[in-house]
Every structure is written in structure tokens, then in C-alpha cells.
Amino acid sequence: MRVDVVHNVLKLNDALAGGIRARLRAAGVFCPNLISSPGSGKTTLLEQTLQHFAQEWRQAVVVGDLATSLDAERLAPFAQTVQINTDGGCHLDAAMVSNALEHFDLDEFDVLYIENVGNLVCPVGYDLGHDTKIGLLSVTEGEDKIVKYPRLWREADLVLLTKADLLPHVPFRLERFMDDLRQLNGTVEVIHVSSTSGEGLDAWFEWLRARRATQSATPAT
Ligand SMILES: Nc1nc2c(ncn2[C@@H]2O[C@H](COP(=O)(O)OP(=O)(O)O)[C@@H](O)[C@H]2O)c(=O)[nH]1
Ligand SMILES: [Mg+2]
């Protein structure tokens, strides 16, 4: 009985997510979903990214947190931003994103970034209608988070190893990280980035640009 309930909730979510994806595609909006633990650098990277593409793309953000509008306040100077408060929920779901989209005229945007609730577990299973799932791991979290939380890394289209500037200062085993990641996801691209030093940001911007171009070439379904 309980299994049926969970199953139905996910089915409803997937149906809503499919509708969101169709709307985004029809409007030509590319949608990356950023997933990581709290504090691994999602908002800081978005601050950099929004500024980098300011002249090139019309950008918007939906950001999820349990409480406060702190992240939206950080991002609002650079893009139209909607904060979702999940009131205890550990992830965004398609209904929340669908409600947030009421605040946007999608025809006015090229890219909609979703910053998911900080969590390596719950957000992974929820389709939000996004085009690509990006997993971030900061070097301060430890390389063991790859094997301990495998699903995100298995499903990610890109892994960003963040806070790369701190690598010399923490006992992060890079080789182990790569070996474990390759076991889960043999082909996933990995970019070392630092929002502080700027390392890897160009590679990240290029990845986004290329991915968006691929998406735009895919006909809406
Ligand atoms: N050293 C270093 N600190 C960073 C970097 N990116 C973010 N931070 C810091 O890490 C903390 C959490 O960053 P934030 O972007 O809020 O993480 P989020 O919770 O994933 O959105 C903040 O104090 C940031 O200043 C980085 O590349 N290097
Ligand atoms: Mg944040």
C-alpha cells in the first residue's frame, strides 16, 4: 500500500515535469538543474555565471531552500529570480517549479537555472522538467561522498568539483574521487572550478554554451 502511494506521487510529479519540459522547449528556454550538498558553492557559481552571460543570454533563476530568501537576494541583482521555500521539504518537486514559473514570461528568457535544495539524496529522483542535471561536490566535503551518495553521480550529465582553490589545503584524494566516479558513470565530464580564483570557470561556461546549443538543435517534443 505504501509503495503504491509513493509510486503515484512520483507518477504525478513526472507528468507535471513533462508539461514543464514541453513549455520550456516551446519557449526555447534551456534549463540546468544544479544539485549538491548545502554550502558546496551553487549560489556563488550562479553569481559568476549570471554575470558572465549577462550580455549573451536572458537568464532567470528558481532557487529552493527550506527557509529564507537569502539566495534569491544574492542572485536578484543579476537575473529575475524566484525563491521557493519548501518549509521543511528536502527537495524541489515539479509542482513547486510549475508554481514558480507563473512568475515568468518564458518567452522573455533563454536560460532558466534551477538551484535545488542543498541535499545529495532527495533532489536526485525528482524530475523538474530540466534539460540537464549537474552535480557539484566541493573538495571540503571529501571524496567519499561519491560512493556514499552514488545516485546523483550516476545520473549527472556533468560533475563540478568546486572550491578547487582549497585542494592544496584539504586531504581530498583526487585519484580516488575519479576512480569511484568512473565506476558509477564512465563518461561523465568533470570540471574543477573555483569561484574564488576563477579556475575552470571558462570550461564551465563553455560546457553550458555547448549543452544549450545541443538542446536548441533538438526539436521540441
Ligand atoms: N574557497 C572557496 N569558497 C567558496 C567557493 N565557492 C563558494 N565558496 C564559499 O562557500 C560558502 C557556500 O557557498 P554557497 O554558494 O552559498 O553554497 P550553496 O549552499 O551550494 O549555494 C560561502 O561561504 C562561499 O563564499 C570557492 O570556489 N572557493
Ligand atoms: Mg545556495
- Write down the pTM of the prediction: 0.95
* Index of the ligand 1 atom closest to the CA of residue 40: 20
Residue with cell string 582553490: 165
Closest CA to 211 of 145, 160, 164, 138: 160
Dig out the grid coordinates for 38 from the structure. Answer: 548545502
CB 221 within 8 A of CB 25: yes
Domain extent listing, the chain = 2-217
- The finding on whether 39 has its CB within 6 A of some atom of ligand 1 is yes
Tell me the C-alpha distance between 173 and 20, whole Å.
Answer: 39
Q: Which ligand has the shortest distance to the CA of 160? A: 1
Which residue numbers in the chain have pLDDT < 50?
none
Which cell numbers in the block locate residue 158?
A: 556533468
> What distance in Å separates the CA atoms of residue 105 and residue 108, rounded to the nearest whole number?
6
Site to probe by mutation for ligand 1, drawn from 40, 44, 162 as the one with most ligand atoms within 8 Å of Cβ, is 44
- Cα of 64 vs centre of ligand 2, distance in Å, is 8
The 10s digit of each residue's pLDDT in 7-46 is 788 899 999 999 999 999 999 999 999 999 999 999 999 9
The CATH architecture assigned to 2-217 reads 3-Layer(aba) Sandwich (3.40)
